Amino acid sequence: MVTEVTRRISILGATGSIGLSTLDVIRRHPDRFSVYALTASTRVEELAMLCREFKPRVAVMADPGAAQTLAGLLSDLPDIQVLSGMEGLCLVASAPEIDTVMAAIVGAAGLLPTLAAVRASKRVLLANKEALVMSGKLFMDAVAEAGAELLPIDSEHNAIFQCMPVDKIRDPAGAGITRILLTASGGPFREHSAEALRSVTPSQACAHPNWSMGQKISVDSATLMNKGLELIEACWLFNTTPERVEVHVHPESIIHSMVEYADGSVLAQLGSPDMRTPIANGLAWPERIDAGVAPVDLFAIGRFHFERPDLVRFPCLRLAAEAFEAGGTAPAVLNAANEVAVAAFLEGNLCFADIPVIIERTLGATAVEPADSFEVIFAKDTEARARAREQIGLLTV
Ligand code: NAD
Ligand code: MG
């Protein structure tokens, strides 16, 4: 296949699980991709090593102190400019030198840089689902207004994207699509009793049976909040409603999601649980390239299983659906409360089973307002974080 373009890329969140998988795909195709910028939060040494290998034009540390350290570590490479803070992140996300941005910062911190990429009409590879969950319609309107090319990297959404006609991504009913079947692994505690969920530890929560991921999304997978965020993500990306999206727990994590058509056909995308597949799909789309992923061995897997999610033991999925229905700022509150609760759990200050309790109480204590502007979203995010911390304090006294 003839390579038509060399893509110039900024990778937001280069030291994370998605960032490193992206660089692994890029490493295999030096003729196709060149790295313009790499960014990280605090992991200076890791970013310095990546800069030595990929020789970006710019490196950004979100933390200003860390940026100074990085500049020192890279003093023998004067061609790499070191920037810091949100300003630096937004600059490299919207630089005229690039055409593609991998949005792989975790959590709300990724919204502004991802939005900067959208507004600069880039190809935006969206891993940072929290950005879309928080700002929903505002985000999709910005994509349409700028004519940005938004490609889903979340494995389920990338699977759905691959199973839909390209010109009907935002009009599934127009393509004869009746339902989206969103698969979920069920996480490491799928078979735990409600009682057992009270005593699980952060390291157990982060030991996902099928996927190797960052800590926050690993906990989200264990609570099923990840599927809740993905339900909202699917509704915005594919312009549909929760009634038309059905979660199927599929513990093998080989079918990454499915699309059901009016004639009874169900199209599925299958593959090994390795994020390099959706990343390569987004980087090269509409072409296909080697992602370094082992072919899936269906004989070794043998059987596929499907279950309905248990919303009693895992209320986060229900809370996410309710927040989407409530609309306005409710999904931003859901996301902020979840980020605070997950951080408290990881620090040993909150029991796993109380994560949904904190989110539900924070949603109950925070008024829903119309999501008219990004300023409103950020104000609600700040308010919800303070309320979630209050609720954690009330639980632990
Ligand atoms: P991770 O924790 O491994 O990496 C996060 C990256 O974001 C790091 O490079 C970190 O330096 C950077 N970062 C963190 N806080 C920041 C801040 N305040 N400012 C700037 N940068 C900051 O996370 P991950 O697993 O790679 O996930 C990244 C995103 O991709 C998340 O939104 C996650 O939901 C999504 N995602 C991940 C996977 C996966 O398999 N890991 C799959 C689907 C979607
Ligand atoms: Mg996913």
**Which residues of the chain fall below pLDDT 70?**
1-5, 396-397
Return d(Cα 209, Cα 373) in angstroms, integer. 39
Instruction: Measure the CA–CA gap between 329 and 339, rounded to whole angstroms.
Output: 16
Q: What is the pLDDT of residues 160-172, one digit of tens each?
A: 999 999 999 999 9
Closest approach atom of ligand 1 to CA 17? 26
- Cα-to-centroid distance, 367 and ligand 2 (Å): 29
Which ranges of the chain would DSSP assign to H, the alpha helix?
17-27, 44-54, 64-73, 85-94, 111-119, 129-146, 155-162, 194-197, 202-206, 215-223, 225-237, 276-284, 298-301, 316-326, 330-346, 355-365, 374-396
Cite the residue boundaries of each domain of the chain with CATH code 1.10.1740.10: 327-397
What's the CATH class of domain 327-397? mainly alpha
C-alpha of residue 234 to centroid of ligand 2, in Å? 11
The ligand that comes nearest to the alpha carbon of residue 273 is 1
State if pTM tops 0.85.
yes
| pLDDT score for 3 | 53
Distance 157 CA to ligand 2 centre (A): 7
Asked if residue 295 has a cis previous peptide bond (ω within 30° of 0), the answer is no
Query: 362: which residues sit within 8 A by CB, 6+ positions away?
Result: 333, 336, 337, 340, 384, 387, 388, 391
Q: 144 and 209 in contact (C-beta within 8 Å)?
A: no
Q: Say how many Å lie between the CA of residue 2 and the centre of ligand 1.
A: 33
Q: Are 394 and 358 in contact (CB under 8 A)?
A: no
| 339 close to 347: Cβ distance less than 8 angstroms | no
pLDDT value, residue 5: 67
Return the structure tokens found at 135.
Answer: 């700002």
Question: Three-state DSSP class for 175?
Answer: helix
Residue to probe by mutation, ligand 1, list 128, 213, 224, 233, most atoms within 8 Å of CB: 213
Phi-psi region of 154 (alpha: psi -120 to 50; beta: other; left: phi over 0): beta
CA 78 to CA 276: how far, in whole Å?
32
**299-327 per-position pLDDT tens digit:** 999 999 999 999 999 999 999 999 999 99
Residues of the chain with CATH 3.40.50.720: 7-152
Assess contact for 387 and 358: CB atoms under 8 A: no
Which residues form the pocket of ligand 1, taking CB atoms under 6 Å from any ligand atom?
Answer: 13-19, 40-41, 43, 62, 104-106, 109, 127-130, 154, 211, 213-214, 216-217, 275
Task: Please report the atom of ligand 1 found closest to the CA of residue 20.
Answer: 26
Q: Which residues pair with 123 in a beta bridge?
A: 100, 149
Ligand 1 centroid distance, CA of 150 (Å): 18
Shortest-distance Cα residue to atom 31 of ligand 1: 106
CATH class of 7-152: alpha beta
